[in-house]
Amino acid sequence: MQQLLEFKQSARTTWATGDYDAMMRQEQLYGVGVELVQRLGIGRDETVLDVACGTGNAAIPAAEAGARVTGVDLTPEMLATARRRAASADVEVAWTEGDAEDLPFDDDSFDVVVSTFGCMFAPRHEVVADEIARVLRPGGRLGVASWTPQGAFGEFFRTVGAHLPPSPDYVDPPPLWGDEQHVTELFEGTGIRLDFAREAWEIGHDSLQAAVECYTTALGPVVEARQLSESEGAWPQLRDDLLELFRRHDTSDDDRLVFPAEYLVVVGHAQ
């Protein structure tokens, strides 16, 4: 489908903009990948695949735990940053450019498949789930962390999306990966037993304005929304919408912005 190929090419370009690594470091979000690796009990010599690995969200902590890790992502620029981070951590990861909807690996290839705020952004969730189930060995483990629709980032994506052109009908909204019923339906018939846990990560920025500046200059889809709104003279509205969103979720009692961001942890066991 030509439209789908064009959509993915556009997504690759979008995620190459900004500075995803800087945003992750600012919010200490790499810690979610560390916690996911610990929750799954990933250990030495296990084979691990990080799907839509970004800049090494779960791949690098899995490698630090002694696993033999492969990270796959659609965006070469993300992988370039991941390579630098892995080198700094003195770990080896096999970085592979590839599509979460068409994983370039044989059936039953991995002991563990993980994704931290990654596979949720692939357009067709059921296709991704089927691919994850295909490459996971019988007896293997699955771990996925995704923002929930009800949490602050679910609202964040809806706010930003209102300033972007509508997605094609076949695109599933990313935060649906944070909905238990949706994920249950995705893996129905795959033989993977699922358990769920809702968690929250405390996000901090120096101010509401600093948070808006961070996301609109570092997070690819939001950078795109800012560029489009500036070209149409609508940037003040997007800025104000984001400021109001953060103001509602702020739990700090000073000038800093602090808010709990809810996410869903999916842990699966393949039969």
Instruction: Show Cβ contacts of residue 265 under 8 Å, excluding neighbours closer than 6 positions.
Output: 36, 39, 143, 144, 145, 196, 197, 198, 199
φ/ψ region of 52 (left if φ > 0, alpha if ψ in -120 to 50, else beta) reads left
Q: How far apart are the C-alpha atoms of 14 and 58, rounded to whole Å?
A: 22
pTM as predicted: 0.97
Query: How far is C-alpha 270 from the chain's CA centre?
Result: 22
Q: Please tell me the class of the 2-153+167-202+262-270 domain.
A: alpha beta
Please say whether the beta carbons of 114 and 268 come within 8 A: no
* Each residue's pLDDT expressed in tens, for the chain with a length of 271 residues: 789 999 999 999 999 999 999 999 999 999 999 999 999 999 999 999 999 999 999 999 999 999 999 999 999 999 999 999 999 999 999 999 999 999 999 999 999 999 999 999 999 999 999 999 999 999 999 999 999 999 999 999 999 999 999 999 999 999 999 999 999 999 999 999 999 999 999 999 999 999 999 999 999 999 999 999 999 999 999 999 999 999 999 999 999 999 999 999 999 999 9
Q: How far apart are the C-alpha atoms of 62 and 83, rounded to whole Å?
A: 14
* Burial label, 141 (beta-carbon count in 10 A; 0-12, 13-18, 19+): buried
What is the CB neighbour count within 10 angstroms for residue 201? 20
What is the CB neighbour count within 10 angstroms for residue 18? 22
Break the chain into its structural domains and give their ranges: 2-153+167-202+262-270
Place of tokens 């800087």: 22
Q: What is the pLDDT of residue 13?
A: 96
Q: How far apart are the C-alpha atoms of 35 and 109, rounded to whole Å?
A: 23
Residues in the chain: 271
Please say whether the beta carbons of 179 and 148 come within 8 A: yes
Q: How far apart are the C-alpha atoms of 197 and 27, rounded to whole Å?
A: 21
Q: What is the pLDDT of residue 183?
A: 98
The DSSP letter of residue 120 is G
φ/ψ region of 155 (left if φ > 0, alpha if ψ in -120 to 50, else beta) reads alpha
Q: What is the pLDDT of residue 1?
A: 73
Q: What are phi and psi of 70, to 5 degrees?
A: -120, 135
Q: How far apart are the C-alpha atoms of 125 and 97, rounded to whole Å?
A: 19
Q: Which helix (H) or strand (E) holds 132?
A: helix 125-135
pLDDT tens for each residue of 148-207: 999 999 999 999 999 999 999 999 999 999 999 999 999 999 999 999 999 999 999 999
